[in-house]
Amino acid sequence: MMIIMKANATPQEVDTVIASIKSAGLNVHLSQGVEATIIGAIGETHNIPLERFESLEGVDLVQRITQPYKLASRQFHPENSVFNIDGFTVGGDEVAVIAGPCSVESRNQIIETAIAVKEAGASALRGGVFKPRTSPYAFQGLGEEGLEYLAEAREKTGLPIVVEIMSQVQLDMMVKYVDVFQIGARNMQNFNLLRAIGETQTAVLLKRGLSATIEELLMSAEYILSGGNQRVMLCERGIRTFETSTRNTTDINAIPVLKHHTHLPVILDPSHSTGFANYVAAVARAGIAAGADGLIVEVHPDPACAVSDGKQSLKPEAFAAMVKQVGQIAQIMGRSLATVGTQVHR
């Protein structure tokens, strides 16, 4: 349920509504936008009549939120969520470009890649240190050693780091290093992990599950938001279809559909959604034209020798060319590429 306050409602009137929501056994989520103050009353609301809040001073309108996800819905939060990620904003006019290798493989590899992607115009660095591999015999990641290399790469470039967390067991160790937790496709419905991340204040990149609907993705975001963590980005990374000529099928529709139903920023992963380096730039351009708030792209200095996802990884030069094209499309869309200030310290 959402309680929309009158434009001239006083802070005391807002406080009275909040107290009344709490006394009904519901949780309160305050959304103070430019246009309106909306107070979310979240919980088992179906037995509670709207009149209970309609009669309070300063209340303009009480409505039920019709979607199963509440805090993630545009109905509850009509304006785009725009938030800061260590140096740039996401969800507003800036288009974020997160880039880096699938896996952190060595100190040299991540530092070389970080410098290259920063010089090409990336706004954040990605790199996996715990890898969700189909085979238990495949490279599983460097763990904390990899995080130390990522932290060093951040120091040299100023790029915030985006790292996948696979289990809440890793949380205490990882939270010290990571600027954005990536929740991978395979963990999109790991509800214990979502709840644990919801209790942190670290920004999140939540990837769509391999066969998850858009509504299921939004329900997973709801787990994180309801824990109090508001900095959630959604990521379309391709879905399973009958098509076998690409690794997955980019659901380009998901971008406008998500932008319609939610205020959360939407990021496109053209690497996992195609699986081939030579398709990545085309799909990246399409994503920004479709209204995505950013991209996450795999880049490797030597893709042929990459320990994971080499086939879909761009060489730094190809990435730089892609960033230029994406920047032009962003301009047509009235946006610009996000930049982070720090110079590279080699």
- Applying CB under 5 A, the residues found at the interface with Mn ion are 102, 309
Region near ligand PEP per CB under 6 A, out of 183-191, 224-232, 313-321, 326-334? 183-191
Whole-angstrom distance, CA of residue 66 vs CA of residue 17 = 21
Does 209 participate in binding ligand PEP (rule CB under 6 A)?
no
Binding mask 131-150 toward ligand PEP (x if CB under 6 A, else -) reads -x------------------
- Smallest CA-to-CA distance from 250 within 220, 276, 232 is with 276
Q: How far is the CB of 99 from Mn ion (least distance, A)?
A: 12
- Write out the E strands in the chain: 2-5, 27-32, 37-42, 59-63, 83-85, 88-90, 94-100, 124-126, 161-164, 180-183, 203-207, 232-236, 266-268, 294-298, 336-337
From 118, 231, 237, 263, residue interacting with ligand PEP (rule: CB under 6 A)? 237
Whole-angstrom distance, CA of residue 270 vs CA of residue 75 = 29
Q: How far is the CB of 134 from ligand PEP (least distance, A)?
A: 10
Q: How far is the CB of 335 from ligand PEP (least distance, A)?
A: 24
Which CB, 29 or 272, lies closer to ligand PEP? 272
Whole-angstrom distance, CA of residue 297 vs CA of residue 220 = 23
Please provide residue 38's backbone torsions phi and psi, each rounded to the nearest 5 degrees.
-120, 130
Looking at the DSSP bridge assignments, the partners of residue 181 are 163, 204
Tell me the DSSP string of 4-69.
EEPTT--HHHHHHHHHHHHHTT-EEEEEE-SS-EEEEEESS-TTS-THHHHTSTTEEEEE---SS-
From 272, 274, 283, 297, residue interacting with ligand PEP (rule: CB under 6 A)? 272
Q: How far is the CB of 164 from Mn ion (least distance, A)?
A: 9
Q: How far is the CB of 26 from Mn ion (least distance, A)?
A: 41
Which CB, 207 or 285, lies closer to ligand PEP? 207
SS3 161: strand
Q: Which residue is nearest to ligand PEP (CB)?
A: 184
Does 207 participate in binding ligand PEP (rule CB under 6 A)?
yes
From 56, 102, 104, 194, residue interacting with ligand PEP (rule: CB under 6 A)? 102
State the number of binding residues for ligand PEP (CB under 6 A). Answer: 9
Q: Which does 141 bind (CB under 5 to 8 A by kind): ligand PEP, Mn ion, none?
A: none
Q: How far is the CB of 14 from ligand PEP (least distance, A)?
A: 40
Contact present, 107 and 152 (Cβ < 8 Å): yes
Does 128 participate in binding ligand PEP (rule CB under 6 A)?
yes
Q: Which residues of 240-261 are buried (b: 16+ CB within 10 A; e: fewer)?
A: eeeeeebbbebbbebbeebbeb
Q: Which does 118 bind (CB under 5 to 8 A by kind): ligand PEP, Mn ion, none?
A: none
Does 29 participate in binding ligand PEP (rule CB under 6 A)?
no
Does 48 participate in binding ligand PEP (rule CB under 6 A)?
no
From 1, 72, 98, 185, residue interacting with ligand PEP (rule: CB under 6 A)? 185
Contact present, 249 and 272 (Cβ < 8 Å): no
Residues that bind ligand PEP (CB under 6 A): 102, 128, 132, 184-186, 207, 237, 272
